[in-house]
Structure 1
Amino acid sequence: MAGIFEQLNNKQREAVQATEGYVRVIAGAGSGKTRTLTSRYVYLVEELGVSPGKIMSVTFTNKAAGEMKSRIRRMLGDVDTGFISTFHGFCLQVLKEDIHRLNYPQSFSIMDEADQKSLLEEIYHELGLSLRDYTFRDMLKVIDVFKAPYGYVGQVTEPDEQKAVKYFSSFTRDMKDRILGKYVQKQRRNFMLDFDDIINYTLYLFTRYGDVLQKWQQRLQYIQVDEFQDVDAKQAQLVYMLSGGYGNLFVVGDPDQTIYSWRGADVHIILDFDKEFPQAKTIYLNTNYRSTPQILDVSNDLISKNTARLKNVLCAVREDGAKVYYKHTKSTIGEAAYVARTIRFLMESGVKPYQIAVLYRAHYVSRSLEEAFVKEDIPYSLFNGVEFYNRKEIKDVLCYLRMPLAFDDISFLRTINTPRREIGRTRLNFLNEYAENNNVKLYDALKDNLSHEKIKSTKARRYVEVIERYAAWIYTKKVDIKVNSLLQ
């Protein structure tokens, strides 16, 4: 433990040793908050003898969670790191254990945005609509608004089928409402959750079933949350509920760095933490290890103008560096032209192109920059592209793997004609009508109609044989064996 403390300053040590009760750490940019969080985790395990399984560490991205796990394992060895994950990752762990209380199987599926659009496309076809009527973006916003409160979960998971059907048939206010009703009904039929559902179903479980909440409260003795300035009301409610068992909640964040208000983040949650928990202790980390004094002077002066903040002036450790230059332009095009001219000047002064980086906040800015670079004859590389799991071939394989587990409509629609099996729109309409009338999934509709005139001449029977074979393997074969076999 002495080795850990040698790497920390006095305020970081104070935060690491603040293990009990409610603690708020205001960690300025570059102040070593990740080191503080990981050191506190190690301190709990090594010094206090806490089992990793009783510690919950929440970060905002899978990458940050992976980095934290890697650092902890370098310090503790190859150990089980317990619950180090995003909010959604933790909620998935809860649902895998307890979603059966909501009459859902453990084999429920998770929808990404591409899956949502695929489901909406099917609904549009059923209702005779097109993207000219409503864009997917419009409908996804409607779905988001509908799922802002989580009371709908009880109605969607209603065990009485007649009550559930009555609920879904009540979506009749307008066409958007009809689309929404079909969307949630198909979700129920296929036991599929979208991004909003993951936290909503967990909160509903905790509020409806006290024994489930109590189980998780007893399991998690220490809870720590990173980037607390970017949590929304439901995420805050989640950790507040979980901390109700032992009363140990450690939150780290910086109100000056909140950037996600557009997706529901509320900076007042961290600002008012001491109002929610009057006994809370606040620790300030203000030693910056990342930036030069020139950069911090500009940052401190700018951010001091904010009104909704906790005063935390950052102090530099690094030596003096280059001056900070600021240029305000009237348009994105003008900004790009200025950047290109500056780079041209630097290159003519002997700076190599690979020594220069241009950072931009939004993807749309790249077009203006690229056009300006081409005009100035500046070589460049754009670090951007389709995310791995959103590539068509990867989505296809994942849906094939999901089919024998969940048999859901989205995976079915993606795999039934990959490769081509002559199940075109007319035959899909037939299957969809059968599924609607009999309240079954599309895969079940296909199996029930393999000998039907519309289906028997296709390659559907071979498809069913493949899926059924892999379903028999689901718990007996390793994933890599199944993937290799599928690709053959």
Structure 2
Amino acid sequence: MINKDYLKNLNDAQKEAVLHLDGPLLIVAGAGSGKTKVLTSRIANIIKEKKAFPNQILAVTFTNKAAKEMQNRVSKILGSTAVGLSWLGTFHSICAKLLRKHASAANLNSNFTIIDTDDQIRLIKNICKAENIDIKQLSPRFILAIIDRWKNKGFYPNEVVINKKDLYEKTILPLYKTYQQKLTDLNSCDFGDLILHAVKILEFNTDIREIYSKNFKYILVDEYQDTNFIQSKWLNLLSGKNKNICCVGDDDQSIYSWRGAEIKNFLEFDKVYENTKVIRLEQNYRSSQNILSVASDLISNNQNRVGKTLITTMEEGDPVQLNCFKNGKDEAIGISDEIEKKINKKFSYNNIAILVRAIFQTREFEERFLKIGMPYRILGGTKFYERAEIKDCVAYLRLIHQEKDDLAFERIVNNPKRSIGDSTLKNS
């Protein structure tokens, strides 16, 4: 049963974005402007207006958390109808699904393994050892970063054109060729391969591209400002038939250029997709006016941006303060004093958050809070699937599932200890 009230709580700009269903659409969504609500309401409206069946809608996010939230919100509106949204997920999960259906086109079997960073490093170390390359001089992580950059640009090893100004590319290209061949031999791929293989399959197999391009009557993309070249190309190939692609993002929140994200995908969207409609979501529901004003004044110094004016219905709020400290210890003392003397008189400790750039920076705060007896909680740390014992269990399961998985075998062959050394492995 569809909840028909999904349009009632939308402002005019949000409603326009939800109801515009013909042709390319770029939604410039400022921070806290309700973009997830717009995306989910748009999906509901497409289905309610019988413009497409749920399995004809491709909805792409960057994180599993965002995908799950979108699925839950759509389910609240559509009820049991939302079950058919089989193409709602992250770039990697959807490409993995597509790749398993057409694995043979990428010289893989459908039960291929997706290796993580640890397995990638181990594989590169083995290749370097065989090629007599000193990993102290050329770090495996650096090698993988270059390989990942090539994959984000859409290059298989035989398509790479070496940058003569880069001293390392000439050395790394043969490693990339060996690395890619090893992955094929192991019936495995890394995360970069998921999208790269999917793009190559669509690019060189017209019949397969026709199936998906025809099926996806509507494509919706979240956080479009963070897409890289290969992700943008994938979307372009899939939207070729119906042209109903809706991308939501904020050029002011583009922070992943170091990871290959290209802001020009967002800025040049209307040049790539003809007759694009641009809608700006400028009503902020999250922050006070003082916060918005400071953020807007700061970001206005950026040169390449679409531009927007954020407004809020909230109060002005307290002024934003910038405090400078000599070191981390002084910062921890200053912030704890601020909490003790002012903030906790108005709010409980549960309403106070301290954000840090990296987890190691919490140490100074922990030491200070312990010293003065202030209660605190650290959020974050090692993820479940990154814990050593979980990786070991998964390696056993991978080996049962696929006997050619040498990387999984290397991890568990002597775990728990079985007195099996390198010499035994070499001679076996």
Same structural fold, with TM-score higher than 0.5 when normalized by the shorter chain: yes
Aligned match of 1:313: 309
CA distance in structure 2 between the partners assigned to 1:236 and 1:255 by the alignment: 15
In the alignment, the residues of structure 1 paired with residue 10 and residue 47 of structure 2 have an alpha-carbon distance, to the nearest angstrom, of: 18
Match of 2:387 among 388, 391, 394: 391
Partner of 1:111: 115
Q: How does 1:16-415 map to 2 (within 5 A)?
A: 16-78=18-80, 79-126=83-130, 131-152=135-156, 174=171, 176=172, 179-329=175-325, 332=328, 334-346=330-342, 352-374=348-370, 378-407=374-403, 408-415=405-412
Provide closer, same or farther for how the CA distance between residues 86 and 154 of structure 1 changes in structure 2, counting only shifts above 3 A.
farther
Residue type of the alignment partner of 2:426: N
* CA deviations over 1:428-447 (Å, ceiling 9, x no partner): 1124xxxxxxxxxxxxxxxx
Indicate the SS of the match to 2:84. Answer: coil
CA apart distance, 1:390? 0.9
How many Å apart are 1:371 and its aligned residue?
Answer: 4.4
Shift of 1:332: 4.9
2:421 to 413, 421, 424: 424
Distance between the aligned counterparts of 1:224 and 1:128, measured in 2? 47
> Residues 369 and 140 from structure 1, CA distance in 2 versus in 1: closer, same or farther, beyond 3 angstroms?
farther
Is the contact between residue 28 and residue 281 of structure 2 (CA under 8 Å) also seen in structure 1?
yes
Specify whether residues 352 and 186 from structure 1 end up closer, same or farther in structure 2 by C-alpha distance, changes over 3 A only.
Answer: same
The residue matched to 1:414 in structure 2 has which SS? helix
Q: Deviations over 1:239-262 (max 9, x none)?
A: 111110111110111111111111
Counterpart code for 1:310 = V
Report the equivalent of 1:10: 12
Distance 2:18 2:340 in 1: 48
C-alpha separation between the residues in 2 aligned to 1:155 and 1:282?
Answer: 36
Give the partner amino acid of 1:321.
G
1:41, CA displacement in angstroms?
Answer: 0.3
Matched position secondary structure for 1:147: helix
- 1:173–1:233 distance in 2 versus 1, CA, 3 Å: closer
Task: Answer whether contact 1:153 1:204 (CA < 8 A) is retained.
Answer: no
Report the CA distance between 1:31 and its aligned residue. Answer: 0.8
Residues 153 and 201 in structure 1, CA contact (< 8 A), matched pair in contact too: no
What is the deviation of 1:141? 2.1
> What CA distance in whole angstroms lies between the structure 1 residues aligned with 2:45 and 2:363?
48
CA distance in 1, matches of 2:211, 2:231: 19
Out of 133-142 and 61-70, give the one that drifted further. 133-142
What amino acid does structure 1 have at the position aligned with 2:156? Y
TM-score, with normalisation over the residues of structure 2?
0.89
> CA-to-partner distance for each residue in 1:15-61, whole Å, 9 max, x for gaps?
01111100001111111110010000011112225211100001110
Flag the 1:286–1:136 CA change in 2: closer, same or farther, 3 A: same
Contact 2:288 2:312 in 1 (8 A): yes
C-alpha displacement of 1:329: 4.2
Deviation at 1:421, TM superposition (A): 3.8
Structure 1 partner of 2:163: none
- The answer on whether the counterparts of 1:153 and 1:200 sit within 8 Å (CA) in structure 2 is no
Once the two structures are aligned, what percentage of the paired residues are identical?
A: 36
Deviation at 1:216, TM superposition (A): 1.1
Q: Deviations over 1:295-331 (max 9, x none)?
A: 2222222222222212211111223433322224465
Q: Does structure 2 retain, via aligned residues, the 8 Å contact 1:150–1:201?
A: no
Aligned residue pair count? 416
> In 2, are the aligned partners of 1:59 and 1:225 still within 8 Å (CA)?
yes
Which of the two has higher C-alpha Rg?
Answer: 1
CA contact (8 A) 2:157 2:176 kept: no
Q: Which has the higher contact order (CA 8 A, sep 6+)?
A: 2
Distance 1:350 1:6 in 2: 35
Q: Give the letter for the 1:99 counterpart.
A: A
Contact map agreement 1:111 1:193 (CA 8 A) in 2:
yes
> How far did residue 264 of structure 1 move?
1.1
- Take 2:425 and 2:183, find their aligned partners in 1: how far apart are those partners? 18
Counterpart Cα distance in 1 of 2:9 and 2:149: 46
> Cα distance 1:313–1:332, how it changes in 2: closer, same or farther (>3 A)?
farther
Q: What is the deviation of 1:155?
A: 8.5
Contact 2:396 2:408 in 1 (8 A): yes
Distance 2:4 2:348 in 1: 44
Deviates more, 1:358-367 or 1:145-154: 145-154
Deviation at 1:378, TM superposition (A): 3.9
How far is the alpha carbon of 1:190 from its aligned partner? Answer: 0.2
Q: What is the DSSP-based 3-state SS (H/G/I as helix, E as strand, rest coil) of the residue aligned with 1:56?
A: strand
Say if 1:184 and 1:256 are closer, same or farther in 2 by CA, change over 3 A: same
The Cα RMSD (Å) is 2.6
Structure 2: give runs of 5+ residues left out of the alignment: 161-167
What letter matches 2:35 in structure 1?
A: K
- Taking the aligned partners of 1:181 and 1:272, their CA distance within structure 2 comes to 33
C-alpha contact (below 8 Å) 1:11/1:285 kept by paired residues: yes
Change (3 A) 1:251 1:146: closer
SS in 1 for 2:102: helix
Q: Distance in 2 between matches of 1:183 and 1:293?
A: 52
Evaluate the alpha carbon distance shift between residue 320 and residue 151 of structure 1 in structure 2; reply closer, same or farther with a 3 A threshold: closer
Kindly provide the amino acid, as one letter, of the partner of residue 248 in structure 1. Answer: N
Describe the SS at the equivalent of 1:399: helix
User: Is the deviation greater in 112-121 or in 125-134?
Assistant: 125-134
